[in-house]
């Protein structure tokens, strides 16, 4: 049995394997569990969303991405309003409960109108909003709970819960969909979201045991500020603006690959059932590789190369991937490059980005970070979606799209290198300006 209080030989070996101290084991496991439940619930539904996006028409994808951005713009002020009225320790409970109710509502809609294109489009937009908000809030919580030194050692293992959930979700979805149908999958996902809240409560209990009375009281106060505070924080800070550029370029690389993947899947696999199966297989492979990297490589890579290495290696790999795609624009290649991009994001970029926020004040973690993770990310989707449509209309060539993607990914790498190099100085500036 693993114990923080009386570590035995097994506990000590486990600590060494995940790069943790004995007193951090329970926190690592509860953090791992939170992401496992969260990503299992999301991964059950992701292949369904991708198939519904194709069902809505490839020529409509840019409209779906733009609609997602508009919904995000409307949602962020509501998020900020709630953030100013609910204690930090309870904020995630409100957000996840709201989205669980949404899932139950979609279950009813799909039961009543299973073939509706408008329900499919609404679900695509909703899940695209959902996944950014719930993941952003979860990482805000982690950045709030763990110190910077702990984050560098532990975030790789904690993030591996997301990868295992990402493996379990598509498999569970493929097995359950014929039994409970699509509405039933929504209900399953809502219950899994509830499971993440149970693990969150245990993680908060651990954090409380490590803090003094003043720190505990602060955690049970709301993050003050107006609904647009995240936007103004980013606009006032050159460092956060640079981070916004990094997020935009991350989103752009993803969207360029997503459009090309959707085009080739639609051509290669015409039926929705085949498309869901293909997307599920890709998701499972991505999460398995991400898990391997997170457990074996991320922590050690971060120790050796720091945040600069975490934020630079993935964009350079994607630059090479786009160049290969320009030479060989077939489904196997785009699926491989897309998989590598997602693996590198989960294993390197996400832990690197979250480490940046650990020393920052609570308002930056919960407001500026949310604005970057949601509005800025989806703005990148919308802009790049229309850019791809324009390039395709002019050149009628996927090769031009791939070369443009390579150029943007190279700029993305430079931005990551700069952010990593400004790490400690930027934290001091952020603290002084708050």
Q: What is the pLDDT of residues 399-433, one digit of tens each?
A: 888 888 899 999 999 999 988 877 544 444 444 44
Domains of the chain (ranges, CATH numbers): 9-432 (1.20.1250.20)
The pLDDT tens digits for 63-72 are 787 888 888 8
In this prediction, residues 372-391 reach a mean pLDDT of: 81
Task: Give CA 369 to chain center in angstroms.
Answer: 12
CB-CB neighbours of 84 under 10 Å: 16
Structure-token match 């001091």, residue found: 428
Mean pLDDT of the chain: 81
* Of 302, 44, 280, 296, the residue nearest 160 (C-alpha): 296
The pLDDT tens digits for 341-373 are 888 887 788 888 888 887 788 788 878 888 888
Answer whether 92's CB lies under 8 Å from 136's CB: no
Rounded Cα gap, residues 301 and 153, in angstroms: 10
Structure-token match 């069902």, residue found: 55
Structure-token match 């190099």, residue found: 421
- What H or E segment, with its residue span, contains residue 251? helix 238-268
The pTM of the full predicted model, rounded to 2 decimals, is 0.70
In this predicted structure, what is the pLDDT of residue 193?
93
- The fraction of the chain above a pLDDT of 70, given in percent, is 88
pLDDT class of 219 with cuts at 50, 70, 90:
low
Structure-token match 């570590």, residue found: 7
In this predicted structure, what is the pLDDT of residue 191?
93
* Of 58, 52, 86, the residue nearest 185 (C-alpha): 52
pLDDT higher for 189 or 434?
Answer: 189
**Gap between the terminal Cα atoms of the chain:** 44
């Amino acid at each position: 049995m693993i114990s923080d209080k009386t570590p035995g030989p097994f506990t000590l070996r486990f600590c060494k394997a995940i790069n943790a101290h004995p007193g951090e084991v329970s926190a690592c496991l509860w953090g791992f569990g939170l992401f496992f439940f969260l990503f299992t619930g999301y991964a059950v539904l992701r292949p369904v969303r991708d198939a519904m996006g194709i069902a809505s028409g490839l020529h409509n994808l840019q409209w779906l991405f733009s609609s997602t951005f508009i919904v995000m713009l409307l949602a962020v002020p509501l998020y900020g309003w709630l953030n100013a009225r609910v204690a930090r320790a309870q904020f995630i409970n409100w957000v996840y409960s709201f989205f669980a109710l949404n899932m139950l509502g979609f279950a009813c809609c799909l039961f009543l109108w299973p073939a509706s294109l408008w329900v499919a489009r609404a679900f695509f937009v909703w899940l695209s909003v959902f996944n950014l908000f719930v993941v952003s809030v979860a990482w805000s919580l982690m950045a709030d709970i763990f110190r910077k030194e702990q984050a560098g050692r532990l975030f790789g293992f904690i993030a591996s819960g997301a990868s295992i959930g990402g493996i379990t979700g598509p498999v569970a979805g493929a097995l359950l969909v014929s039994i409970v149908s699509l509405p039933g999958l929504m209900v399953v996902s809502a219950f899994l979201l509830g499971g993440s809240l149970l693990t969150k409560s245990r993680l908060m209990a651990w954090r409380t045991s490590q803090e003094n009375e003043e720190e505990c009281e602060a955690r049970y106060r709301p993050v003050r500020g107006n609904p647009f505070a995240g936007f103004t924080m980013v606009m006032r800070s050159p460092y956060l603006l640079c981070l916004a550029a990094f997020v935009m370029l991350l989103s752009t690389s993803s969207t360029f690959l997503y459009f090309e993947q959707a085009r080739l899947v639609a051509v290669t696999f015409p039926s929705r059932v085949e498309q869901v199966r293909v997307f599920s297989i890709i998701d499972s492979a991505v999460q398995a590789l991400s898990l391997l990297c997170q457990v074996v490589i991320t922590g050690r890579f971060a120790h050796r190369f720091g945040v600069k290495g975490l934020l630079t290696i993935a964009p350079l790999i994607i630059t090479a991937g786009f160049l290969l795609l320009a030479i060989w624009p077939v489904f196997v290649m785009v699926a491989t490059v897309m998989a590598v991009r997602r693996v590198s994001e989960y294993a390197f970029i996400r832990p690197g980005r979250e480490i940046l926020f650990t020393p920052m004040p609570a308002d930056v973690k919960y407001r500026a970070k949310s604005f970057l993770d949601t509005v800025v990310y989806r703005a990148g989707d919308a802009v790049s979606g229309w850019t791809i449509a324009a390039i395709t209309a002019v050149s009628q060539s996927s090769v031009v799209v791939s070369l443009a993607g390579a150029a943007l990914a190279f700029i993305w790498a430079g931005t990551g290198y700069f952010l990593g190099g400004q790490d400690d100085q930027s934290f001091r500036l952020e603290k002084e300006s708050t």
